């Protein structure tokens, strides 16, 4: 059974490592979940705070979330030094 959400916004708080495209994620905030558990969304995204994430990995996470058909609006925002 598929659930549609009005919107989901993933806010990945990150600290840039040097001038590279890899970022260390300190925390992940998810807003707007209505019928999907936070851990389920993170599992589908395939990102976590244990390793640096590149822009291409964030794009792949976005695609994986859309491919589930569970989400109608997804965005990633990074906040450096937070």
* pLDDT tens digits, 1-50: 445 444 455 544 443 333 346 777 788 888 888 888 989 999 999 988 88
Structure confidence at residue 63 (pLDDT): 92
Among residues 28, 35, 30, the alpha carbon closest in space to that of 14 is found at 28
Position 80 scores a pLDDT of: 65
Q: Residues 11, 14, 16, 21: is their CA dihedral positive or negative?
A: negative
Q: Which fold has domain 9-79?
A: Ubiquitin-like (UB roll) (3.10.20)
pLDDT value at 59 more than 90 = no
Query: Is 10 in contact with 35 (CB distance < 8 Å)?
Result: no
Residue of higher predicted confidence among 10 and 77:
77
Edge-to-edge strands, sheet with 76-79: 23-31, 9-16, 76-79
pLDDT surpasses 60 at 78:
yes
3-state secondary structure of 35: coil
Indicate the domain borders of the chain: 9-79
């Amino acid at each position: 059974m598929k659930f549609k959400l009005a919107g989901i916004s993933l806010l990945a708080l990150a600290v840039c490592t040097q001038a590279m495209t890899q970022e260390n994620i300190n925390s992940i905030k998810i807003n707007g979940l209505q019928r999907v558990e936070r851990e389920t969304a993170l599992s589908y995204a395939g990102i976590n705070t244990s390793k640096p994430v590149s822009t291409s990995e964030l794009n792949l996470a976005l695609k994986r979330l859309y491919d589930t058909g569970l989400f109608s609006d997804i965005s990633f925002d990074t906040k450096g030094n937070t």
